[in-house]
Amino acid sequence: MDVGKFMAIMISMVFINNFILSKFLGLCSFIGVSKEIKPAVSMGLAVTFVTTMSSIISWLIYRYLLIPFDITYLRTISFILVIASFVQFVEMVIRKTSPGLYRAFGIYLPLITVNCAVLGVAVLNSEMFFINGKSLPDSFLMSVAQGFFAGVGYLLAMTLMSGIRQKLEMIDAPRSLKGVPLAFIIASLMSLAFMGFNGFKF
């Protein structure tokens, strides 16, 4: 794969088209798990794993199953099944290896299954790297890279937000702003800051 395309995908998915701060996908887990750094980073790593692996499997399914049999209308269902399978796998691994972390995630770990950011990556790959039923050159590698760096962008946003929210716990904020309201204000300011990357040209 061309290094320039790889760098463009990396910068685009982490900064310019960040799924949380630019496309506003996955806000549920973003607000719910970003109270502390450790769960936030762990959730970011779990989402990165799921987006990368689902990008690999969804590309293979789309290229070798849905297109040849002319059943691309089953794309969304197929991708959701792939994502659900990997989320179940991640959930079982975390529950076995780190019960404390599993309890910290709570309901938000199973919610990766319906996390629109994860599904958005798979759908975006099928729309960007396939034209008229044919895959573009290096489309597999670009799909994997896009899935991975979408997860990295998610991890970056989660880490920044959790660090800020931990600091905010020490300030004397008005009661009406404490918790989720202040978190949404911070998220909107972070989104405005990330919009500055839109000026990048490739």
Per-residue pLDDT at 1: 63
- pLDDT at position 69 over 60: yes
Output the CA angle 92-95-96, nearest 5 degrees: 85
Tell me whether residue 134 is exposed, middle or buried, using C-beta atoms within 10 angstroms of its C-beta: 0 to 12, 13 to 18, 19 or more. Answer: exposed
Per-residue pLDDT at 38: 86
DSSP string covering 79-133: HHHHHHHHHHHHHHHHHHH-HHHHHHHGGGTGGGGG-HHHHHHHHHHHHHSEETT
b or e along 42-55 (b: 16 or more beta carbons within 10 Å of the residue's beta carbon)?
A: bbbbbbbbbbbbbb
Per-residue pLDDT at 151: 93
Per-residue pLDDT at 32: 83
Per-residue pLDDT at 124: 92
Per-residue pLDDT at 201: 59
Per-residue pLDDT at 162: 93
Q: What is the pTM of this model?
A: 0.87
- CA distances (Å), origin 84, targets 76, 90, 98, 126: 12, 10, 21, 18
pLDDT digits (tens, 9 = 90+) for 103-112: 877 777 777 7
- CA distances (Å), origin 186, targets 88, 89, 160, 162: 31, 33, 10, 11
Per-residue pLDDT at 43: 84
- CA distances (Å), origin 30, targets 12, 89, 149, 162: 20, 21, 17, 9
Question: What values do phi and psi take at 177, rounded to 5?
Answer: -105, -15
Task: Please state, rounded to an integer, the average pLDDT across all residues of the chain.
Answer: 87
Per-residue pLDDT at 153: 94
Residue 156 CA, distance from chain mean position: 10
- pLDDT at position 202 over 60: no
pLDDT digits (tens, 9 = 90+) for 128-172: 999 988 899 899 999 999 999 999 999 999 999 999 998 888 888
pLDDT digits (tens, 9 = 90+) for 178-191: 888 888 899 999 99
Per-residue pLDDT at 113: 64
Residue 158 CA, distance from chain mean position: 10
What's the average model confidence in pLDDT over 93-106?
83
